[in-house]
Each structure stands twice: as structure tokens, then as C-alpha cells.
Amino acid sequence: METIFPSRPLSESTALRSGSIWALGFPPPGLKTPNFSPCRKLAVTRAAIAVEEQTKTKVSLLKIGTRGSPLALAQAYETREKLMAAHSELAEEGAIEIIIIKTTGDKILDQPLADIGGKGLFTKEIDEALLNGDVDIAVHSMKDVPTYLPEGTILPCNLPREDVRDAFISLSAASLAELPAGSVVGSASLRRQSQILYRYPSLKVENFRGNVQTRLRKLSEGKVQATLLALAGLKRLDMTDKVTSILSIEEMLPAIAQGAIGIACRTKDETMANYITSLNHDETRLAVSCERAFLETLDGSCRTPIAGYAYRDKDGYCVFRGLVASPDGTRVLETSRRGAYVYEDMVQMGKDAGEELKKRAGPEFFDFLRSHK
């Protein structure tokens, strides 16, 4: 694990710990000192007491667990800023630490996610650190969070959702439709792969792992002709200047919970639960709950091409669109629902949509997907 502290100037306590004690008026050990006057000795004593008291108070009140990618850190910083704005005690210097934790998905970069297997590839180690007490809260991209939560944890907070659409990035074409036949699109997502091949069967899709910066570098090196990235991540990284065009929801249905940040804590930690619940954006939480109910019904993971998006329409109703596909794009099944923007109704909509697609696809479709895992 790696700890990130907010940057700050050298304090008295830092000076003492680092040996720079001349900064406080103390000579290095072994150096003969002048005969201070009683007033000078009193001032030195008071300074020493002040330093000791300051050192005692420099204990963080809250530790945030996160992955170490630039995007994950941007999401952790966003969480920290919102906590500091909402709670004055957390705005004190050093009150919040950010702890970087490497996950399985971060360590294995030479294989497609579908081949690594399992769920929670980008969350398992962070959840373990949370349960062990190494961190107090965990900040996740909600699309990485399995449909179940580890026992002993809760996720009572979703921050306001960013733009859910995908961005098309290329140095040679303005859109997917303009790519010549045989062009290679880099993507590690089976959801994107299946939808690309469904609409543009003349294109090729190759596994393209790594963070945003790594993928853009590979693109500039000519390893692929184009790639797709979540627009939400590019916005949080202030990198929208890299976008060639934005795909509509109709052309590329987003991943479940794309653009949403989730914050988890331990089940019985009321202090942390109160902190993060105060940041919850309920409209986002309800939409994400609808989408995750759809995913859970289909028993989906990163090995299954599934997409879904719930949102509030102009009349205040929830509209949900869902999709399941074969990885090669030869078969794509879609459905939609509309109903009240209420938690129970929205979760039921997601479940009903999932059950419909399971029936329409038939068991042989999912048996095929499982046999190719």
C-alpha cells in the first residue's frame, strides 16, 4: 500500500522528525550551545511542548482506499474534496489520507479481462483492506463493483453521475463508420466489442488493456486505428481534448453503472456511514440500482457482453434500456422499460428486463457464453 498526504510546507513536527531542528532554534546533538538566558530557555521549552502537542494531533480521521491509476486517484480526490466541504473536522490539514492499493486487475495487464476470470478484479483487494481496518472507506468505479458486496461492507453512497456515453478516439477517422474495412479498434471490453462488430462487421477488435494514458499512447504508436473510452473518465481527467467524437446511446449502449462512483464502508462503522451517506446523490443511486438488478438477473461479469442504462426522462419517469450479446456481435438482444422513478419499481424493472432477455436468448445462448469463458 502507498499513502498520499496533501502537500504542505515543512511544519515544526516535520522539522523535528526529519532532523532539521535548527529551524526550531535547537542545535544538532553534540554541538556546544551558547548559554541561553532564562527567557530564551522558557521560549525553547514552550516551543518543544507545542511541537509535541502538534505531533499528537496529526492523526488522520479517515483513510480512503483506492486504486492507483490517474482516474482512480481523480475519483478519490473528488471524494476527499466533497467530504472536506461537508464536514469541517475533515477539512483540517492531514485529516484525510489516500491509500493506494493494487488490485488483481492492475497487476495482470497482458491478458483480456475475460480470460483472468472471477469477479471483483478491480475491487477485491480494496475490500479486503477495508475489512481489515487498513482503510475506512473504499472508492470504486461502480462498473467494477460485483453485484454482491463482501459480507461486512455496505455501499450507501453514489456520487452524482458523469456523462455515461463512450468517446471515439482516432488519428485517422472521425467516427467508427468512417474507418476502412479491416481497421483495428482497441478495446478490452466485450460490451464494446460486440456492439462494434454488430454494426460494423468489417472492423476488427483487439484486446487493449491499460489505463487511459497507456491506451492513448498505444493509439499514437499506431498499434490500432481507433479506441473507445468512457467519456466520464476523460472528463474527470480533464482530457476531453483527446476525443474525436462522442457515440450516442443508440450506437453504443453504456456499461452497467458507467460514469458512477460508489463509496463503501464497514457495516457497523456508523461514523463512516454518516460521512459518506451525506454525499449520496439519490437519482444516481436509483439508476445504478436498476441497472445492477438487470446485471444480477443475467449473472453478468466482465466475460459477458451486457449493457444497460437507466435515466429519468423529461416527465420524471425512469426509462431503462438493456442489451445482451454474443462477443462476435452476431446476436444482439435488446429490451426497454418505463416506470416510476422509485427504488422498488426500478429494481423490479431491471429484474423483469433481465428475465425477458434470458427467455428470449434461451439456455443454449448462455451455455455458449459459459463454454467460452
Active-site option among 127, 144, 166, 269: 144
Of the CA atoms within 13 Å of residue 364, those in its CB half-sphere come to 1
Query: 350 to each of 322, 326, 336, 343, how far by Cα in Å?
Result: 8, 20, 9, 11
The per-residue pLDDT string of the chain (373 residues; one tens digit each, 9 = 90 and over) reads 766 654 443 333 333 333 333 333 334 444 444 454 555 444 444 544 444 444 344 578 999 999 999 999 999 999 999 999 999 999 999 999 999 999 877 676 555 555 555 567 789 999 999 999 999 999 999 999 999 999 999 999 999 999 999 999 999 999 999 999 999 999 989 999 999 999 999 999 998 877 888 889 999 999 999 999 999 999 999 999 999 999 999 999 999 999 999 999 999 999 999 999 999 999 999 999 999 999 999 976 456 899 999 999 999 999 999 999 999 999 999 999 999 999 999 999 999 999 999 999 988 787 656 555 4
Q: CA-to-CA distance for 264 and 154, rounded, in angstroms?
A: 6
Residue 101 CB: number of other CB atoms within 10 A? 23
Q: Which of 63, 144, 69 is nearest to 107 (CA)?
A: 69
Tell me whether residue 144 is one of the annotated catalytic residues.
yes
Contacts of 88 (CB under 8 A, 6+ apart): none
With contact defined as beta carbons under 8 Å apart, do 4 and 70 qualify?
no
Strands 245-246 and 166-170: antiparallel
Q: CA-to-CA distance for 173 and 190, rounded, in angstroms?
A: 22
- Find the angle CA(79)-CA(81)-CA(85) to the nearest 5 degrees: 120
Sheet containing 166-170: give its strands across.
204-206, 184-186, 226-230, 166-170, 245-246
